[in-house]
């Protein structure tokens, strides 16, 4: 299953781009169908072994074909029995945002919480589920 992420997800979460590129705003412009994909190092190794994954095409469950434009580092998983899970990422359209909201900031948590609340994200909002990442 593909994970839908924003164009800033990898930089926000400090997941390194190992090969190729990150998502661009133009990649996320398609509301209903992703145009490109990024895969984790484990995904690339599992499916293409030593081959260059850039340009390889992945067929999604709805038969949409998306080329791979980047490879990112593996991430620790909340599922501890599989810490380096093969991951497939597709860009999420800002119009289709459903959360969670990931925020990286320097400063006081109360200040950032107020700013997030003022943007419409907060208890009772459809997209509530902010995860605050402290530097």
**In 3D, which of 70, 68, 57 has the Cα closest to residue 11?**
70
Dihedral pair phi/psi, residue 83, rounded to 5°: -65, -25
Q: pTM, whole model, 2 decimals?
A: 0.72
Taking only the tens place, the pLDDT of each residue in 4-55 is 888 888 988 889 999 999 999 888 876 667 789 999 999 999 999 989 999 9
DSSP labels for the chain? -PEEE-TTHHHHTTPPEEEE----GGGGG-SSS---EEEEHHHHHHHHTTS--TT-EEE-TTS-EEEEEEEE-----SSTT-TT---EEEEPPGGG-----EEEESS-HHHHHHHHHHTT-STTSTT---EEEE-
Taking only the tens place, the pLDDT of each residue in 79-134 is 555 666 889 999 987 655 565 566 666 777 777 777 766 766 555 444 444 444 44
Per the CB < 8 A criterion, the answer to whether 72 and 3 are in contact is no
Share of the chain above pLDDT 90, in %: 36
Residues β-bridged to residue 38: 70, 89
Q: How confident is the model at residue 101, as a pLDDT?
A: 60
């Amino acid at each position: 299953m593909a994970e839908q992420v924003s164009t800033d997800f990898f930089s926000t979460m400090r997941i390194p781009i190992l090969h190729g590129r990150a998502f661009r705003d133009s990649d996320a412009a398609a509301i209903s169908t992703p145009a490109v994909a990024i895969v984790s190092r484990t995904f690339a190794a599992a499916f293409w072994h030593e081959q260059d994954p850039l340009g390889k095409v992945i067929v999604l469950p709805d038969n949409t074909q998306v080329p791979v434009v980047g490879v990112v580092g593996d991430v620790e998983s909340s599922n501890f029995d599989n810490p380096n899970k093969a991951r497939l990422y597709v860009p999420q359209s800002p119009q289709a945002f459903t959360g969670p909201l990931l925020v990286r900031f320097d400063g006081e948590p109360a200040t950032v919480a107020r700013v997030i609340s003022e943007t419409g994200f907060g208890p009772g909002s459809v997209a509530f589920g902010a995860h605050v990442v402290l530097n």
